[in-house]
Structure formats: structure tokens, C-alpha cells
Structure 1
Amino acid sequence: MEDETDVDTLGEQLYELILPKHPDIAGKLTGMLLELPGPVLVQMLKNEALLNEALERALTALQRSTGNGNFTSPDNDVASASSDSIGERLYDLIDLYDTGHTQKITGMLLEQKKEAVLQLLSDPALLEKKVKLAMETLKQQGEEETDVSENSDKDEAEVIGETLFARVQQIDSAHCSDITGMLLEMDSDTLRQLLDDRAMLEVAVQRAKSALEDLSNQTCSETSH
């Protein structure tokens, strides 16, 4: 019951602030803002600039949802709404949550069937739940991408290096370390091709061995002088 009382209190306080600004639709706008999380509403009561920004977004969403400038229920012609208009309305509603990821979350929710998206437009509680889930998903994706970028490249390079060393050792055991080191300077795509094509690998090993011999001969020549 405390939560209900808090919402009622916030609603009354918001209504008193909104009434002088938009007397004709103060109730409608208050109802829209009450869809936002409690902490956000508390901040609005303390910060007039934040409240005005939220009101502008709510007005834009309301005007787009009615489509005719009259502040009536958006459900009247919702079934015939175009995908673009649905996307715009959903974007405006999600933007009210000030997540910093409005565009991404809108895109995620628009991947659902049209009926499910329309339900989000008419069910504030469901929309809030979906926005929270989307935020959690984005957070997890961010963590996974960081882990993958840091670990997978390193793991792949190690696997390629170990596999390549074993293959080169079979061809030229005497110089396998030096040759493997030279081959590892190639890009990863070329290295994969070498591992898949024995003949190609043998050619690369011979070229690397020749390069090592040339380098050794050059060093000896310079030393003798």
C-alpha cells in the first residue's frame, strides 16, 4: 500500500505543477509521466527543467499517437498505424525513461510482431518491464563483447601458433622455431590457409628457410669484412 500511496502523492504533486502549464490535458500528461520510475519522478519535482523536458516528450508522443491534434485515446486507429508511426511513438515513450539507449532499445522492441509492439504502446507497465529487460540485455552484451575481444583473439593466436609450430616441425625440425616466428607475422586469414593446405605450408616453409639462409650468409659476410 505504501507504493500506491507514494504514486498517488507523486501524481498529485505532478498534477499541481502541470496544471498551470497545460490546463486542458494536465490529467493526461500526469498519467503519462507516472509511467516513469519513481526516482525519475522525484527528480522532476525538484528540477523544473527536467520536468519541462519530460512534458515536451510526452506532448510529442501524445500528438503523434492521436495523429489529429485532438488529445484522445491512441487506440482508436492503432490497428491501421504504419510501422513508421509505431516506431516513432515507441521511440518517444522509451525516450521518457532517459536510458541513454533509446534508439537501440526501440530497435530491439520493434523486432517483435506488430501486435506485441502495439500492446507496449497501450500498456505502460509492460513497456517499463521490456525496457528494463532490454537494458539488462545491452549490459550483458557489452560485458560479453569486452570479454570476447580481450580473450578470444589471444586464445586464437595461441592456438594458431601452437598448431603452426607442430606442422612446421614435421617439415623442418631444425629451424621450426625461427620459421614459425617468421610465418606468424602473416595475417590470421593467411595462417588459417596454411594450416588447411599442406602444400601451401611447405612452400611457405621453404621460402622462410631460404630467407633465413640468406640472412645468415649476409651476416657471415659482414662479419668476415
Structure 2
Amino acid sequence: MDEEENLEMLGEQLYSLIYPKHKEDAGKLTGMLLELPAPVLSQMLQDESMLTEAVEKALRSLQLPQESSQEEIEVTYKEEDASVSSDSLGEQLFELVDVYNTGHSQKITGMLLEQHKDAVLHLLSDSKLLEKQVHLALKTLQEMNQGETDVSDSSEADETDRLGEKLLSLVEEMDPLHANDITGMLLEMDPTTLQQLLSDHTMLEAAVQKAQAALNT
């Protein structure tokens, strides 16, 4: 569908919504609203409060001198629409981003919403641009996650070494001959359990005895 056909379809939909409440001025109001960007018009068709506000602005503009009426609606719309339609804009963007099944739809939508509102509206109407930005955002997220994983792996390794040293010194007191083997077996437990072993001597003794039994089988 080309732009002209799309605009005509939007006009018909807008007119059908405006006509019941504003029969006399429906044509003029629809014409004024059609001067706004197509993505904004699409958003209005899905957001009743946004459409109502735009129609009220257009009505006020009809009271002004004709040459300034359209300028008035465009200026007031740009000044006031940000807070009214941001939630709706985010919902629409999320639905489009979610189609790509990245597993990070919420984060990517948040990243894209940080752009200027006009740029976000452009994304809603340009699928190729949206796809490109989704892939860029996904790449950024993956790089960030990789960096966090590297740091996390490093810190976990350091933590395991520290716990291993403490455990070894305690196990050596119970079984000097097999201390290294037993400590190695105990280190296969999760860090939380290892911390408990270090703070509970009875629990540690029981774990050491189990490890000794396993070594003797």
C-alpha cells in the first residue's frame, strides 16, 4: 500500500470516529488531523484519549483565524503529546520488537524508547529500520552480557579458590593423608553449602566422612 492510499484509509477511519460527536465539523477536523505524521495518526486510532485530545485542539483551532489554525494544532500537539502517548507508544513498539523473538524484547524496547520521539515514531512505520535497530540493540545487549559473564566467572573462580584454601586447612586436621582429594570433592558443592561447612564443624565432619567413604569404595 502506497502512502496516499494509506493516508486515505487513515482519513476514513478518523472520520468515522469523529463524525458521531462532531457531525458538522467532522470533515474539517479530519482534514486538520491528516496533516500530522501517519504513525501519529495510526497511534490515535488505537488510543482514544489521544484522539479526543487532538480533536479538542483542532476544535479550538477552528475558533482562530484560518491561516493560523493548522499551525496551532501542530504546535500544541508537539508540546503536549509526549506524556499522553508515551505508554501507548511503548506498547506498540514492544509488540513490533517482540516479533523478532530475541528473548530481550523488554530491554530492547526500553533502549529504542530512549531515542527522540520522532525517531521512535519513524521506527513504527519503517519495518526495515526497526529490524536494523533491533539487531543493533541485541548485539549491544549480548556484548554487555558477555562482559558481565567474564567478570562473574572471574569472581566466582576467586571465591572458589578462597573457599578451597579454608576448607583444605580444616580437612587436613581431620585427614591429612587424603586432604587434597576430600577438599576437591567438597568443592563440587555450591558456594552456599561450602560456606555452611566452614561455619558448622559438625556438618563439615559429616561431609568429610562421606567423602572418606566414597574414597574407600
Which bin holds the TM-score, normalised by the shorter protein? 0.3 to 0.5
Which one has the bigger helix percentage?
2
TM-score under structure 1 length normalisation: 0.44
TM-score under structure 2 length normalisation: 0.46
